[in-house]
Amino acid sequence: MTAATHSPLFPQTPDTADAVLEGLDPEQREVATALHGPVCVLAGAGTGKTRAITHRIAYGVRAGILQPSSVLAVTFTNRAAGEMRGRLRQLGAGGVQARTFHSAALRQLQYFWPKAIGGPMPRLVDRKIQLVADAAAACRIRLDRGELRDVTGEIEWCKVTQTVPADYPFAAVKAGRETPRDPAEIAQLYSAYEDVKRDRAVIDFEDVLLLTVAVLQDRQDVADQVRSQYQHFVVDEYQDVSPLQQRLLELWLGDRDNLCVVGDASQTIYSFTGATPDHLLDFRTRHPGATVVKLVRDYRSTPQVVHLANGLLAQARGRAADHRLELISQRAPGPEPVYAEYPDEPAEAEGAARRIRELMASGVRASEIAVLFRTNSQSETYEQALADAGVPYQLRGAERFFDRPEVRKAGIALRAAARFGGNDSLLDDAVDLPSQVRAVLSGEGWTTEPPAGSGAVRERWESLAALVNLAQDFSAARPGATLSDLVAELDERAGAQHAPTVEGVTLASLHSAKGLEWDVVFLVGVAEGMMPITYAKTDEQIEEERRLLYVGVTRARQHLHVSWALSRSPGGRANRRPSRFLDGLRPGSASTTAGRAAAGGPGGVERGFTSRPGVTPRRRQRTVARCRVCGRTLTDAGEMKLMRCEDCPSDMDEGLYERLREWRAVQAQRSGQPAYCVFTDKTLMAIAEAAPDDEGELTRIPGVGRRKLNRYGADVLAICAGQEPGGEEVED
């Protein structure tokens, strides 16, 4: 993995300030040299936003215009902040503060606490759940474990949106939140939670920002001191700023406007925590004199990857989508994205691991490969598959599966149950191993149905659900296995995966992959239910899921591998279908925008097929093609290739189609290429339907270009005429 800010265009520290500007395009330069007044960069993924702001700071410092200690750069994660500091040092601008909102606020709060509030600063608690449980006890409200977690999620949301307890019922309705309990009760619990914290002299994560905001608001002297220290502010990933972070930023700024923000509304993926791209999109309204720069050149990804990213955005709806910018790749062409369907999740993980081994054998470094998934609970299957394949890996944005607190606690509970099995009333009614595991884990917060809502609450449930699934798979593979056998299996897995890794394939959730890039990206589990995830119900939630996929796609520099599984476990019902977001984009799928059923048609779902090269959505839309059976205008690439609606009756000569397929298999084997590189199924079908008599007719079939005609035309026409193909291949 290479962090975006690490791309070593300047392996040496530039000699001069002007040299810092080298390697920036004209628009990026405009950003880098606009050192005063408000600046807003609206740009798509991989266009060099992070690079532009890093160079901007370095240029300002090197040119003597910015004092390093007067600049505060705010990024989204500690990792990004660390990388930005490294990059700034390398550009000759060390000493600039690059932090997250949270760490910058914490530092200020610690510094000003004695003066502004007095006494020692309260301890910062990292987990709220016990405090919420105590608050519930104080209110005499009984919450089960799932509710406890959901209520905690609601309290977090209240805090980042600066909603006080009394306003929660109204605010929750307005924001369309699915409230886990009566909103009035949640308001009461939230209020009691605040009391519990005060009594115990502790503060939570959000309090750090809230208290800093309060101090800066109430204490003019403190605000003055902070403002005299920091003169220039730069914010990366501004589309995901929460109202609370925005308030803090405004307080830091005071009445000044030396603020540079960069973001991409199409990458808003934290709305569920209260973040909103409105601050980015309304920047010019709030700062009428702002320099607004748009970047459209994508330096990260190949035209093939960019084509898919643009296609995804073309289908997006909502405010963020109204501001989308079509990306234009600056890179040489690369391989088409590969789409692969597997019967079940373990097979999908094995498939990815196998492909990764091949890539590594061909010289790709493990650290240039990432496997990205929707929920952290998917991690385990991939950890296992990579471990089995002997591929080193590292986890990002989540602890190793077996290190997660809920997994460790579940392990302890299972071990205890295994030891005292017969005497444990929990296990009384549980006959088989999966039921026993479900019984034990329900004591740890596992429920049959997933909890409402998302975020940490959902992640913890997913961890337990992954253990339940694991138990099911284990007992299916080893009938008669006991709880002790399962515990031994878990120990073995945990042990095997604790091996320290240095250079490894990155396993990360899509959320934590933000801002990063790799040569090779595997997007896994891209099926309905995961992408969009089942609990995304409203249009806004669905759109956020689409953006998440866009973030995933745009992490890839060269190779993109998109996969899904038809069922969860081996032998399970194959009732899943690929993500609706791929409709009309992956080969063989109909477009939902055309209001047609997706996939399912012949050739719609193949193993390891690739998308059709070189057709941009715009070009596709402009081409007027009509179904030769019913006359409807066709917009879907697959249907255009067939020259008819997918479900209109086919007049295909089945025998001819079979002969063409056999011929294709031989060609593919001869050239060492996959079959679809010769002709896709759709093209073969179209040929079998048209049964062309001459070259003119053959070239009219979409998918048969000049190159293919030269190479395969004679063979195909011979087969269509009922003769044996046999002519020598004509090389390109």
167 touching ligand ATP, by CB under 6 A: no
Stretch touching Mg ion by CB under 5 A, among 45-53, 130-138, 213-221, 559-567 = 45-53
Residue that the structure tokens 């009509």 belong to: 626
Residues pairing with 233 in the sheet: 72, 259
**Residue (of 578, 395, 394, 398) closest to 503 by Cα position:** 394
270 versus 564: smaller Cβ distance to ligand ATP: 270
Query: Could you tell me which residues come within 8 angstroms of residue 138 by beta carbon, excluding any fewer than 6 positions away?
Result: 192, 195, 196
CB of 298 to Mg ion, least distance (A): 12
Which amino acid, residue 529? G
90 touching ligand ATP, by CB under 6 A: no
Stretch touching ligand ATP by CB under 6 A, among 23-31, 253-261, 309-317, 632-640 = 23-31
Residue 24 binds which entry of Mg ion, ligand ATP, none, with Cβ cut-offs from 5 to 8 Å by kind? Answer: ligand ATP
50 versus 302: smaller Cβ distance to Mg ion: 50
Residue 713 binds which entry of ligand ATP, Mg ion, none, with Cβ cut-offs from 5 to 8 Å by kind? Answer: none
Stretch touching ligand ATP by CB under 6 A, among 44-52, 399-407, 522-530, 619-627 = 44-52
294 versus 354: smaller Cβ distance to ligand ATP: 294
CB of 300 to ligand ATP, least distance (A): 4
Stretch touching ligand ATP by CB under 6 A, among 49-57, 203-211, 587-595, 692-700 = 49-57
353 touching ligand ATP, by CB under 6 A: no
48 touching ligand ATP, by CB under 6 A: yes
Radius of gyration of the chain (CA): 28
Stretch touching Mg ion by CB under 5 A, among 27-35, 162-170, 513-521, 702-710 = 513-521
> Which of residues 32, 49, 104, 683 is near ligand ATP by CB under 6 A?
49
Contacts by residues 493-500 (CB-CB < 8 Å, ≥ 24 positions apart):
493/384, 493/402, 494/402, 494/411, 496/387, 497/383, 497/384, 497/387, 497/400, 497/401, 497/402, 498/400, 498/402
Stretch touching ligand ATP by CB under 6 A, among 18-26, 85-93, 176-184, 669-677 = 18-26
28 touching ligand ATP, by CB under 6 A: yes
334 versus 515: smaller Cβ distance to Mg ion: 515
530: which DSSP letter?
A: B
Distance CA 503, CA 352 (A): 18
Using CB under 6 A, which residues numbered 247 to 266 contact ligand ATP? 264
Distance CA 443, CA 433 (A): 16
Residue 334 binds which entry of ligand ATP, Mg ion, none, with Cβ cut-offs from 5 to 8 Å by kind? Answer: none
Strands 71-74 and 97-99: parallel
Q: Which helix (H) or strand (E) holds 657?
A: helix 654-671
- The sign one gets for the Cα dihedral 679, 682, 684, 690 is negative
Distance CA 290, CA 260 (A): 9
Distance CA 422, CA 440 (A): 13
Query: 440: helix, coil or strand?
Result: helix
CA distances from 20 to 7, 31, 43, 53 (A): 14, 13, 21, 12
Using CB under 6 A, which residues numbered 295 to 324 contact ligand ATP? 299-300
Q: Which helix (H) or strand (E) holds 394?
A: strand 393-396
Half-sphere exposure of 482 (CA within 13 A, CB side): 8
Distance CA 596, CA 635 (A): 11
46 versus 92: smaller Cβ distance to Mg ion: 46
Residue 45 binds which entry of ligand ATP, Mg ion, none, with Cβ cut-offs from 5 to 8 Å by kind? Answer: ligand ATP
31 versus 131: smaller Cβ distance to ligand ATP: 31
> Which of residues 14, 38, 46, 92 is near ligand ATP by CB under 6 A?
46
515 touching ligand ATP, by CB under 6 A: yes
552 touching Mg ion, by CB under 5 A: no
Stretch touching Mg ion by CB under 5 A, among 287-295, 434-442, 515-523, 617-625 = 515-523
Distance CA 101, CA 109 (A): 12
Please state the φ and ψ torsions of residue 388, each to the nearest 5 degrees: -60, -35
87 touching ligand ATP, by CB under 6 A: no
485 touching ligand ATP, by CB under 6 A: no
Residue 462 binds which entry of ligand ATP, Mg ion, none, with Cβ cut-offs from 5 to 8 Å by kind? Answer: none
Tokens of 54: 């890093």
Query: Could you tell me which residues come within 8 angstroms of residue 23 by beta carbon, excluding any fewer than 6 positions away?
Result: 9, 10
334 touching ligand ATP, by CB under 6 A: no
Tokens of 289: 């004199």
44: left (phi over 0), alpha (psi -120 to 50) or beta: beta
Number of residues that bind Mg ion (CB under 5 A): 3
Q: b vs e for 264-281, b when ≥16 Cβ sit within 10 Å of the residue's Cβ?
A: bbbbbbbbbbbbbbbbbb
Using CB under 6 A, which residues numbered 566 to 625 contact ligand ATP? none
Q: Which helix (H) or strand (E) holds 438?
A: helix 433-442
CB of 49 to Mg ion, least distance (A): 5
Q: Which residue is nearest to Mg ion (CB)?
A: 50
Distance CA 462, CA 357 (A): 28
Distance CA 345, CA 373 (A): 12
DSSP 463-512: HHHHHHHHHHHHHHHSTT--HHHHHHHHHHHHHHTTS--SS-EEEEETGG
24 touching ligand ATP, by CB under 6 A: yes
Residues pairing with 529 in the sheet: 533
Stretch touching ligand ATP by CB under 6 A, among 14-22, 45-53, 195-203, 338-346 = 45-53
CB of 236 to Mg ion, least distance (A): 6
414 versus 516: smaller Cβ distance to ligand ATP: 516
> Which of residues 28, 50, 162, 304 is near Mg ion by CB under 5 A?
50
Using CB under 6 A, which residues numbered 265 to 294 contact ligand ATP? 267
Number of residues that bind ligand ATP (CB under 6 A): 22
56 versus 612: smaller Cβ distance to ligand ATP: 56
Using CB under 6 A, which residues numbered 672 to 701 contact ligand ATP? none
222: Cα separation from own chain's centroid: 39
515 touching Mg ion, by CB under 5 A: yes
441 touching ligand ATP, by CB under 6 A: no
- Length of the chain equals 732
Distance CA 721, CA 732 (A): 24
86 touching ligand ATP, by CB under 6 A: no
Distance CA 352, CA 362 (A): 15
> Which of residues 14, 39, 42, 47 is near ligand ATP by CB under 6 A?
47
CB of 299 to ligand ATP, least distance (A): 3
Distance CA 377, CA 446 (A): 13
188 versus 506: smaller Cβ distance to ligand ATP: 506
CB of 17 to Mg ion, least distance (A): 23
Residue 47 binds which entry of Mg ion, ligand ATP, none, with Cβ cut-offs from 5 to 8 Å by kind? Answer: ligand ATP
CB of 304 to Mg ion, least distance (A): 21
Stretch touching ligand ATP by CB under 6 A, among 39-47, 98-106, 148-156, 589-597 = 39-47
Would you tell me which residues interact with Mg ion (CB under 5 A)?
A: 49-50, 515
Would you tell me which residues interact with ligand ATP (CB under 6 A)?
A: 4, 7, 9, 23-25, 28, 43, 45-51, 264, 267, 299-300, 515, 517, 554
